Amino acid sequence: MARKKLDGAHERRRLAALRRLDIIDAPSNAEFAALTELAATYFSCPIALISIVEADRQRFKSPVGLAIDELPRTGTFCDVTVASDAPLVVEDACLDPRFASGMMVVNAPHVRFYAGIPVRESHGYAIGNLCIADIEPRRFRAEDMAALAKLARLAENIIRTHERENQLIDRTNQLEKWNTLFRQSERMAQLGTWEVDIDNETLSWSDGVYRIHDMPAGTPVTVAEAIDFYVPEDRDMVARAVADAVARDTPFRYEADLAVGDDTRRIRSVGEMIVDSGGGRRLVGVIKDIDVQHKATEALKTLAFTDSLTGAMNRLGFDQEFARMLDATDIGSDLVHLVILDLDGLKSINDVYGHLSGDFAIRHTADILAALLPKNTCLARLGGDEFAIFGRSPLSPRNFLATLSNVQRGFDKGVVNDGHYLTIGISGGYAVSQPGDRPSNLLSRADAALYHSKRMTPGTISLFAPEMTEQSHDRSSAVARLREAIGENRISAYYQPIVQLSDGAIHACEALLRVRGEDGEIETAERYALAFEDAKISRHIGGFMVKTTTRDRAAMARRLDAPPRISFNVTAPDLLSYGGVEYFHEMVAANGLHHSQFCIELTESMLLVNDKGALKATLVELRKAGTMIALDDFGTGYSSLTHLRDFPIDFIKIDKSFVARLEHEHESRLIVQSLIQMAENLNIMTIAEGIETEGQARLLRQIGCVYGQGFLFAKALPLDRLIERAKTANAREPIRLAKAG
């Protein structure tokens, strides 16, 4: 069946008007649904719908009695209705040659009766029609058509309301570019329109506005009462927006909270002044319930600004709040106080007990800090094991620092987790704001004070002093220089011989890190000592030394008949961290070596870990594999005799501070002699460090020290020079460097 040919220009304008409505693919709304239900009921028809007719298809809005929502346009009842731009009644489709073979007549639902009337938008273009249908033929009287026309006018009112809402919302788009999804939703559900007749001082609400307020539709409301529905803190803002719109003819947009029962509901409202053709002034607008979106947004903000592990403010939240506080100092006299705190020993806890225990330690720290915060301050976790306490306070730095003593006392006792006793400590740096401070300035000063505490007085909170900036700069400089050297492959292992004092034969050597400076000079690790406080650098150097010394020991074995054992320094985290010892085993095996060809050196301070049992088990494992164990700088640390009892020690290395005074102090000779005799009784060998004179070597031989190390014999040498030195020094029959007895 051919439809009436439409004027091309008219059809293009009609389709353009339809597109402007933005209604084609929009979900059916409650008003349309109510209207089609009313039509079906009123006319006792099984089928009722609003059809939106596009160029090639028709879309059904709120259909009653149909399970489909779309059909091709050509040859349909609705197509003819729109094309003729006039009401259409078909009392028996089977008898009408235009429709007898139509898809809805021949196929289910087998329509026999149809009545439809065009529905127009505000410019008069028929965008679709309101129609009813039956599967039986029926008569349709003039009064029936009049009733259907009234319902069609209701549909047009709904569409025109939709148009007005779209027009108002479109004017606010430039303020809402940040979220397209929210802009689209504002034109749809949970929306209502309102209008204030300025001349008559009356307020009109659509049903949607009543629903947002949880009020019966039609309840009289004045402008003053409408403003009073807002929570008290928002009323002045709403009243000013309305007053400015009336007085200055300026549009407005705001978000505020309505008091609804015992709860509040977040809304967004836009409005502007219009003047009708008769000169009457009206303030019209749209109100939208955005409570769900608002709460979701607030929840996302909370999530974005909150540390998931501790519940404290995270770094992003800290940055924003801290900057806000500093800005506020321009209008107030109170100082901004900043304390940066660092957990002491968290890495050891992670290495020994795993990251779950580390997480527990972080949460426990946050709980203590939150409970003991000074007045008017906030807590933030800046990342890893670093926290910040910050806030505005009239207290002087001295008095504020005194309040932090409560925080420090909170860490006096350890805590048990999963059967393990964890010792958690904090070190801190404290600084106060100065005029013109930016966040980075105050953070830099507090960080410098923190570095001073950790390096000089661990477990304390230091107040920033100007000289601390230089200390912090030195550390940063050392870290940067060593990272650059690592990146440019300018690090290497040198070896200082450990000789038998009786004949000077080289039977072991200590691997020491050396750095080739940018000028080509070889620098000792002491030049970069501050950089080793950086955990990443420390781990990298540890892995490098293991890989290099195992490779070099294999090279020694190929070039020397009796290659010396290599000793190298390790830290407790190196031994206890996941993969540390395993990597050593892997490198030994990969180079075809045996553990007995290596010795690891520990300082006494490294043995002061939370769980000595875990460290002892690791050392015992290494000792069983054949690796020798030396206690470095012996006599200068804590609980030395306890260490000799508790750990599998093969060597003690007598600290050079005792050796340096051997020739001049009788007491030093007695101490060294006692250490050597004690070691011999415990079946432990001794190595004297820092031997620089023949007199020192002679005295050490006389009091029974077997091995020595120092500049008297050789400085640390590169591999090739060590091998040549070993060939010369060991020309005589070597005496094996092995455990006494």
The more confidently predicted of residues 163 and 511 is 511
Q: How confident is the model at residue 23, as a pLDDT? A: 85
Band of residue 332 on the pLDDT scale cut at 50, 70, 90: low
Q: How confident is the model at residue 536, as a pLDDT? A: 80
Would the pLDDT of 379 be above 60?
Answer: yes
422 forms bridges with which residues in the sheet?
415
- CB contact at 8 A, 391 and 325: yes
- What average pLDDT score do residues 88-93 get? 95
Q: How confident is the model at residue 731, as a pLDDT? A: 66
C-alpha–C-alpha distance, residues 407 and 371, integer Å: 9
C-alpha–C-alpha distance, residues 562 and 726, integer Å: 9
Residues 6+ apart with CB under 8 A from 128: 50, 51, 52, 53, 58, 61, 78, 82, 118, 119
C-alpha–C-alpha distance, residues 349 and 611, integer Å: 9
pLDDT in tens, 450-464: 988 887 888 889 999
C-alpha–C-alpha distance, residues 628 and 616, integer Å: 14
Band of residue 640 on the pLDDT scale cut at 50, 70, 90: low
Query: Within a 13 Å sphere around the CA of 608, how many CA atoms are in the beta-carbon half?
Result: 10
- pLDDT above 90 covers a percentage of the chain that reads 50
pLDDT in tens, 568-603: 998 766 776 656 788 899 999 999 999 999 999 988
Q: How confident is the model at residue 173, as a pLDDT? A: 60
Which span out of 84-88, 527-531, 730-734 was modeled with the highest average pLDDT?
84-88
The more confidently predicted of residues 610 and 626 is 626
pLDDT in tens, 271-288: 999 988 778 889 999 999
pLDDT in tens, 651-706: 999 989 899 999 988 888 998 999 899 999 989 999 999 999 999 999 999 999 99
Which H or E run contains 393? strand 386-393
Q: How confident is the model at residue 329, as a pLDDT? A: 63
- What average pLDDT score do residues 107-122 get? 94
- What average pLDDT score do residues 312-341 get? 83
Would the pLDDT of 534 be above 80?
Answer: no
Band of residue 734 on the pLDDT scale cut at 50, 70, 90: very low
In the chain the domains, ranked by start, together with CATH numbers, are 8-160 (3.30.450.40), 180-297 (3.30.450.20), 309-465 (3.30.70.270), 479-729 (3.20.20.450)
pLDDT in tens, 153-206: 999 998 888 888 777 777 656 544 443 443 344 345 578 889 999 888 899 998
pLDDT in tens, 381-423: 998 889 999 998 888 888 898 888 888 888 888 888 888 888 8
- What average pLDDT score do residues 223-245 get? 92
Residues 6+ apart with CB under 8 A from 620: 648
- CB contact at 8 A, 288 and 189: no
Q: How confident is the model at residue 190, as a pLDDT? A: 79
- CB contact at 8 A, 299 and 287: no
CA distances (Å), origin 701, targets 157, 513, 564, 707: 111, 29, 21, 9
- What average pLDDT score do residues 34-59 get? 93
Would the pLDDT of 740 be above 50?
Answer: no
Q: How confident is the model at residue 188, as a pLDDT? A: 56
77, burial (CB in 10 Å: exposed 0-12, middle 13-18, buried 19+) = buried
Band of residue 738 on the pLDDT scale cut at 50, 70, 90: very low
- What average pLDDT score do residues 446-475 get? 83
Whole-prediction pTM value? 0.49
CA distances (Å), origin 461, targets 332, 380, 431: 27, 17, 10
- What average pLDDT score do residues 372-378 get? 89
Unique residue bearing structure tokens 């629903």 = 211
C-alpha–C-alpha distance, residues 286 and 165, integer Å: 6
Residue 92's nearest CA partner among 128, 51, 133 is: 133
Mean pLDDT of the chain: 86
